[in-house]
Amino acid sequence: MTAPAVRPTALRHFAHVADDEVQRLFQHPPQPVTREDDTDVVALALGATLYLPAHRPALAGDVVRQRAAGVASVVLCLEDAVPDDQLAAAEANLVHHLRTLAAGTPDLPLVFVRVRHPDQVGQLVEALGEAADVLTGFVLPKFTGRTGPAFLDAVRRSSARLGRVLRVMPVVESPEVAHTETRTAALTGIADLVAAHRDEVLAVRIGATDLSAAFGLRRRREVTVYDVRVVADVIADVVNVLGRADGTGSVITGPVWEYFRGNPDRVFKPQLRETPFRVHDERPLRSELIAHDLDGLIREVVLDQANGLAGKTVIHPSHVPAVHALSVVTHEEHADALDVLGAGAGGGASASSYRNKMNESKPHRAWAQRLLQRAHVFGVARPTTSFVDLLGAVTPR
């Protein structure tokens, strides 16, 4: 007998923070999002997407516990995270724990499964029966114009079976994309597939680990992915082809941060200024972040956002608070966006309401529209709220 279906429920960022703290920190609190909302809004709501190997023995409990700690999206991985000789056991384990989730609490994150091959999509949906309603969709690995159609066809068949659209997140990570001589053709092929499946594609993910592997590289904990030039070049081209602001682009998510424990033998100084933490009486928080190498993650998230990426792939719960705190829209950014959009389509330029920059209506319009979508999902901070305040409120002590 299959488990009863789970009704889609609203998901709100910072719901695990006390109401009085939310009121203190936010001018406009984060708003609820369901998986049926506008594609770009749901994609932004992914936030820090936590990957969990599908063969974890306490998988359902892990998902519920991480949701209670603020995680908004999880990927249960049947691909690289699972050894080949454990795949069958991982599939059975995954089905068991998804049924458990479907029969239990409705307060779940957005749940995706990273499959290894197209046949797993239909097999998993069939094995789950009504419990498949717990799934938001699938992550499609090593996605190219050649491999993508079989995955997308399998998901469409399963969507038809369930009577609702299963979302997909293709991962750009193949050698064809990594290598310069084949990159343009590979990205064009991916773009064509994404365009043909616009209703299903939620976001495009970047597989920095596999892209680095194409060159035999692995970045150190003290450098960001943008310091690895061959990978940074790929990210730039992915955004160029797949992330345009002309209505054809998708949300592109930030690549994985791999480190979660401190390294006593640092080569470089910590990447977090001391002053903001001293001013907000949070020196112990800064020390904790540095001890767990999260200063490198914070720098990379800022660079992700500067390069047009949203959210991030993470492999440890300690990464989630930093990604989400940095996703909150500052009061200054929100004021600038309202100024830009309030100027109308006729254009023009004027000094910002903060009197520290020039806002131009036409060139800044797409930025402002995207920023307001993020403000809906992650909220707008009060003028007196800093990143340190937000991070302090969501970091377990």
Task: Show me where the domains of the chain are located.
Answer: 19-327, 332-378
- What per-residue confidence (pLDDT) applies to 290? 64
Identify the pLDDT of residue 288.
67
pLDDT value of position 6:
45
Cβ(392)–Cβ(282) below 8 Å:
yes
The dihedral sign for the CA sequence 153, 159, 164, 166: negative
Angstrom distance (rounded) from CA 167 to CA 287: 40
- Tell me the one-letter amino acid at 135: L
Supply the pLDDT for residue 3.
Answer: 42
pLDDT for 109: 96
Cβ 72 vs Cβ 93: under 8 Å: no
Residue 247: phi, psi to the nearest 5?
95, -10
173: closest CA among 76, 252, 56?
252
Residue 297 to residue 258: CA distance in whole angstroms: 9
**What residue type is 353 in one-letter code?**
S
Q: Residue 265 has what pLDDT?
A: 63
Distances (CA, A) of 330 to 6, 372, 382, 392: 35, 11, 7, 16
Contacts of 94 (CB under 8 A, 6+ apart): 54, 55, 59, 76, 78, 113, 124
Which residue is it, tokens 């936010």? 26
Quick one: which of 140, 161, 152, 169 has its CA closest to 73?
169
CB 124 within 8 A of CB 89: no
Contact by Cβ (8 Å): 28, 375: yes
User: In the CATH scheme, what architecture does the domain 19-327 have?
Assistant: Alpha-Beta Barrel (3.20)
Q: Minimal CA–CA distance to 47: which of 314, 315, 272?
A: 314
Residue 203 identity (one-letter amino acid): A
pLDDT digits (tens), the chain, 397 positions:
344 444 456 899 999 999 999 999 999 999 999 998 999 999 999 999 999 999 999 999 999 999 999 999 999 999 999 999 999 999 999 999 999 999 987 899 999 999 999 999 999 999 999 999 999 999 999 999 999 999 999 999 999 999 999 999 999 999 999 999 999 999 999 999 999 999 999 999 999 999 999 999 998 888 899 999 999 999 999 999 999 999 999 999 999 998 877 665 665 666 676 667 666 667 676 666 666 668 889 899 999 999 999 999 999 999 999 999 999 999 999 999 999 998 766 678 888 888 899 999 899 999 999 999 999 999 999 999 988 889 888 887 6
Q: What is the pLDDT of residue 267?
A: 59
Closest CA to 208 of 60, 315, 342: 315
Question: Which pLDDT score is estimated for 220?
Answer: 86
pTM: 0.92
Can you read off the two tokens belonging to residue 213? Answer: 């592997």
